Amino acid sequence: MREVTVGIGGAAGDGLDKTGDTLAKTAARLGLYVYAYNSYQSVIRGGHIWLRVRIGERKLTSHGDHLNVLIALNQDSIERHAREVEPGGAVLYNSDRLKLDPTLLRDHVLPVPLPVSAITKPLGKVPAVMQNTVALGALLFLIGLDFETAVGVLTDTFKHKGQAVIDQNVAVLRAGYEYAKEHFVPLGYRWTFTHVRRPFITGNEAFAIGAVTAGCKFYSAYPMTPASSILHWMAAHADRCGIVVKQCEDELAVVNMAIGAGYAGVRAMCGTSGGGFALMTEAIGQAGMIEAPVVVIEVQRGGPSTGLPTKTEQGDLNQVFGASQGDYPRVIIAPGDVAECFSAVVTAFNLAEKYQLPVILMSDLLLSEHPETIEPEDLRYDVPIERGELVTEWDEAKGRYKRYAFTRSGVSPRALPGTEGAAHVAATDDHDEEGILISDVFTSPPVRRKIHEKRMRKLDAVLRELPPPVLEGPEDAEVTLIGWGSTKGVIREAVEKLAEEGIRANRLHIMYLFPFHAREVAEILRRCRKTICVEANYSGQFARYLRAETGISVDAHIRKYDGEPFEPRYIVERVKAILEGRPLSLEVTEEEAREIAYHYIRTHLDEDARPGRISRLERDGFEEPIWNVEIVSRETGRKRGRVLIGIETGSTYRWEPEESAS
């Protein structure tokens, strides 16, 4: 398969997301597939941002393992990523401001210095951020993407800013393109453009569009990364779509308003991340108790507490399972990719209304914020809308309306406020069929038993309605990779790579977390030869749940909790190590030592410093082996000192400046 991965590195405020978006949309309009991931930080200006845009002729389900072209917008990005560029690739940079040390490049990597001010001089004064557009123009030429298609994307992007802005952007793009054409030869990508137009969409956009398509009329939220982009989309489209979008004072209000709206009869949803969800938990139990439909999206980020606000993790499973005191019926769904975000929210609303319960959708920063191309038919207009049994009028001559009638299915036909003859109280204290409390004066153990059973019985029908997971790949595989949520795509690619290396693997991905297909999953797992659970958390929360539900302990684990998503190669290497019986090393690698040194430099030293040679020292007065990272001057190349980093603990023991350094 032909594919290219372009990395764009810079600081927050460099505008690289726009550049990445233009590149991605250009490729998508040409009929190519795109998957992008932005590794960003919780800062508005500065820091290090690393956006990867992977483009290929076939569906891509992760950002992959490769780097073919680097667009470096600052010096850090050159130093940190130039060595990752693979032979046949190129490094583009603004040579007015940045320097590329050729020793950083692997063989057959093309340095592409762009003298931005000379290139843009004929265009008069242009904003500094347009260095990105120059680089993008040059990139289009180097990787063989169609220039006019990119012009179309820019035209649409800047339509709201007027023709002058469009013209300037196009002129700068052209200048970059022409400069590259004059000075370089293309890198040799020969694409087949199908011109099939596909949506380029994030998980959060899919949640929002899915919700609107399914009839969501109320969305409430409190700003919290990485769920906020649902709020932004909803707010921007509220008028057109006829939704009430409410930013609330806190997540307590968020979920209680959504429950109030759901009780009153509109399809209501709210979204948050782990910290906000923690505040919502009592109310989610309330929705279970009063049998009000509501959809709650929990977009995980690195935890606990404030944790890693802009990094990904799958560490909230225990919290979501444990949300609220007592037992109550609820559904937990973890879509595995962007297309499933759309379909899962449709399912969520139908289940919430048919079974009158809260439905929690679990996502994470990776799934919610990364954009990818999906098939147009993944976003259907005519989704099923099932509201369940509604009482539209009640003749009181037939007796009092029983809001919580004890039915065989456990579902009691619902009357919305405003319905003639069906007034009742929906109470969070436990209650009888009519809604009269059984908590205070009228305690009744048998009534309590029967209403509790009635509520919980609804889950039997929910489970029957949900499709059980299936094993994908060869039945007789040597190894089975088990995952849930956002790891679906990367596990799929890892399985393909394993096959290329002669290891037969299959995979089991689980989307419906609760109620759980325990019997079906146990049957599948019993047939597997070696099971490995892949999840982005420290303790293996999902593996533990699997064991609780099926009695089966997986044979091995692949876990990650550094905030960055899995990559296929990482999984492949771990699978091979597990099959060969090699233990997992938690030592700091040389690459990691360089990043730890960067961290030290950025927090304690200055812009002139950068890591140089790295060597390993055995002990050297510490109780562990040490990475000895030389720190050199960017300006002069002179050694300025060294940073000593423990290979086992990762401790930055010391910064030792050179005696001669001023």
Residue 399, burial from CB neighbour count under 10 angstroms (0-12, 13-18, 19+): exposed
For the chain, how long is the longest CA-to-CA vector?
A: 98
Taking the complex as a whole, the smallest distance from the CB of residue 1 to other proteins amounts, in Å, to: 23
Q: Name the segment binding other proteins (CB under 8 A); options: 129-137, 183-191, 192-200, 477-485.
A: 192-200
Query: Smaller CB distance to other proteins: residue 442 or 538?
Result: 442
The least CB distance from residue 239 to other proteins, in Å, is 5
Q: How far is the CB of 215 from other proteins (least distance, A)?
A: 3
CB pairs under 8 A, 24+ apart, for 101-108?
104/78, 104/79
Q: Which helix (H) or strand (E) holds 72?
A: strand 69-72
CB of 223 to other proteins, least distance (A): 15
Of 102, 326, 418, 446, which one interacts with other proteins (CB under 8 A)? Answer: 418
Question: 27 Cβ partners below 8 Å, 6+ apart?
Answer: 33, 34, 53, 55, 145
Q: Which is nearer to other proteins, 257 or 477 (CB)?
A: 257
Those residues whose C-beta lies under 8 Å from the C-beta of residue 435, and which sit 6 or more positions away, are: 403, 404, 424, 425, 426, 427
> To the nearest whole angstrom, how small is the minimum distance from the Cβ of residue 355 to other proteins?
18
- Residue 13 has which token pair? 């405020």
Angle of helix 147-157 relative to helix 16-29, nearest 10 degrees, comes to 120
Cα gap 495→490, rounded to integer Å: 9
Q: Helix or strand or coil: residue 616? A: strand
From residue 299 to residue 318, the character string flagging contacts with other proteins as x (rule: CB under 8 A) and all else as - is --------------------
CB 323 within 8 A of CB 284: yes
Q: Is 198 in the site for other proteins (CB under 8 A)?
A: yes
Q: Is 376 in the site for other proteins (CB under 8 A)?
A: yes
Q: Applying CB under 8 A, does 397 fall inside the site for other proteins? A: no
Minimum distance between the CB of residue 39 and other proteins, rounded to whole angstroms?
23
Interface positions, 9-28, toward other proteins (CB under 8 A):
25, 28
| 42-101 residues near other proteins, rule: CB under 8 A | none
Q: Is 15 helix (H, G, I), strand (E, B) or coil?
A: coil
Judged by CB under 8 A, the chain residues 262 through 281 that form the site for other proteins are 262-268
The contact mask relative to other proteins for 212-251 (x = CB under 8 A, - = no) is xxxx-xx-x----------------xxxxxxxx-x-xxx-
Q: Does 575 bind other proteins (CB under 8 A)?
A: no
Task: Choose between 50 and 342: whose C-beta lies nearer to other proteins.
Answer: 342
Q: Hey, how many other C-beta atoms are within 10 angstroms of the C-beta on 418?
A: 9
* DSSP codes, 442-495: T--HHHHHHHHHHHHHHHHHHHHHSPPP-EES-TT-SEEEEEEGGGHHHHHHHH
Q: How far is the CB of 427 from other proteins (least distance, A)?
A: 4
Residue whose CB is less far from other proteins, 426 or 577: 426
Contact status: 434 vs other proteins (CB under 8 A): yes
Q: Does 30 bind other proteins (CB under 8 A)?
A: no
Q: Between residue 438 and residue 497, which ones bind other proteins under the rule CB under 8 A? A: 440-442
What is the C-alpha to C-alpha distance for residues 154 and 541, in angstroms, rounded to an integer?
44
Contact residue for other proteins among 58, 99, 195, 197 (CB under 8 A)? 197
Q: Which two tokens stand for residue 77?
A: 């990005």
Closest to 33 measured CA to CA, from 79, 69, 2: 2
Cα 315 to Cα 257, 358, 418, distances in angstroms: 27, 21, 42
Give the one residue of 55, 139, 209, 494 binding other proteins; rule: CB under 8 A. 209
> Residue 76 or residue 205: which is nearer to other proteins going by CB?
205
End-to-end CA distance of the chain: 54
Per CB under 8 A, does 128 bind other proteins?
no
Which window, 195-203, 588-596, 607-615, 644-652, contacts other proteins (CB under 8 A)?
Answer: 195-203
**Residue from 11, 278, 391, 426 binding other proteins (CB under 8 A):** 426
And the tokens for 488? 């679906």
Piece in contact with other proteins (CB under 8 A), picked from 52-60, 207-215, 596-604, 627-635: 207-215
CB nearer to other proteins: pick between 386 and 453 = 386
Q: Which is nearer to other proteins, 326 or 621 (CB)?
A: 326
Q: Which is nearer to other proteins, 263 or 622 (CB)?
A: 263
SS (H, E, C) 232-275: HHHHHHHHHHCCEEEECCCHHHHHHHHHHHHHHCCEEEEEECHH
Distance CA 513, CA 362 (A): 9
Dihedral sign from CA coordinates of 40, 46, 48, 49: positive
385 near other proteins, judged by CB under 8 A: yes
Q: Of 6 and 427, which has the nearer Cβ to other proteins?
A: 427
Determine if 32 is a binding residue for other proteins (CB under 8 A).
no
Q: Is 420 in the site for other proteins (CB under 8 A)?
A: yes
Q: Which is nearer to other proteins, 201 or 510 (CB)?
A: 201
> Which residue type, as a one-letter code, is found at position 327?
D
Q: From 65-73, 258-266, 589-597, 598-606, give the range in contact with other proteins by CB under 8 A.
A: 258-266
Identify the residue among 57, 86, 282, 648 touching other proteins (CB under 8 A): 282
Continuous H helices in 5-108:
16-29, 75-81
Check residue 436 for interaction with other proteins (CB under 8 A): yes
Q: Which of residues 626-655 bind other proteins (CB under 8 A)?
A: none
The site that binds other proteins (CB under 8 A) totals a number of residues, namely 74
